[in-house]
Structure 1
């Protein structure tokens, strides 16, 4: 099994309820165990600033799912909660956004999947909740742990 982290965010609808339901769904996925969930964080939008604030959290768990299957599950969860990638603005408002932050220490760069997430080290809304539940995770490219990445950002 490999340790993975997902970042979840929402700024449309009842964001707190959407994130809570998404976490419950993830905990029911087959081939996952040892789930740890951060607190909720209310954060400013990133990228496109003229929109409502986001609720964010991070969940880590162990899995035997491949990175590609994990991505399919994450995108299926987004769709279940109303996300339509064909009709949304890039970095715009959404009911649910699920990003794969890391997949063990793997480095993956394909057309559809980039792990670790290429912007994670620039995003307080990822690093703060991740540091809450796994401050020692080591970024395989930057060679810094979560706590160090967050300190650099501050």
Structure 2
């Protein structure tokens, strides 16, 4: 499917640190693009990253992908949760910030500003995480975050994250 003018930019973050994380992230990126209402545009490299909050777990593999979509943000959330479940993620049983087969986050979607009990866009902690900012910068370092006047490059300059991240 080709992107249409009525579609909006959608940036998703992917992460995994169980099994073969690079393979799982690559598969999940393709599965998202299998939705007729989501069109793949551009992908960052895969990044190997240290766990940020709960350090007692394996390294993560992360990526950011730009898609275009005409879905409602909540439809996107439901769809990516379904994909996480297909990858055997069980949010009810995993430890918070712990190991996972697949984590998919909506980072940015068009100019949406949403903050409720189910969804927050832009992602509430994107600015604290090099594993989001570095891959996002590969796609568009001058992207202006909705609701702000700051670019991704500006957030990188003041990011408090001192964990190790490396391009694979």
Confirm whether residue 148 of structure 1 aligns to residue 154 of structure 2: yes
Q: Is 1:84 paired with 2:90?
A: yes
- TM-score, normalised relative to structure 1: 0.95
Q: Which residue of 1 aligns with 2:165?
A: none
Which structure dedicates a bigger proportion of its chain to helix?
A: 1
**2:133 pairs with 1:111:** no
Compute the displacement of 1:34 (Å). 4.4
- In 2: Cα distance, 1:34 partner to 1:41 partner: 19
Q: Distance in 2 between matches of 1:6 and 1:30?
A: 17
For residue 57 of structure 1, what is the aligned residue in structure 2? 63
- Aligned: 1:67 with 2:34: no
Aligned equivalents of 2:15, 2:85: Cα separation in 1? 14
Tell me what 1:132 maps to: 138
Structure 2: distance between partners of 1:53 and 1:74: 22
Q: What TM-score comes out, normalization by structure 2 length?
A: 0.88
SS in 1 for 2:104: strand
String of CA shifts for 1:1-34, please: whole Å, max 9, x gaps.
Answer: 1101000000001101101110111121111224
- Tell me how many residue pairs correspond in the alignment: 154
Moved over 6 A (4+): none
Structure 1: distance between partners of 2:43 and 2:94: 27
Tell me the CA shift for residue 148 of structure 1.
1.4
Residue 97 of structure 1, aligned match among 95, 103, 126: 103
Q: Any conservation in 2 of the 1:38–1:132 contact (CA below 8 Å)? A: yes
Structure-2 separation of matches of 1:114 and 1:18: 25
Helix, strand or coil at the partner of 2:158: helix
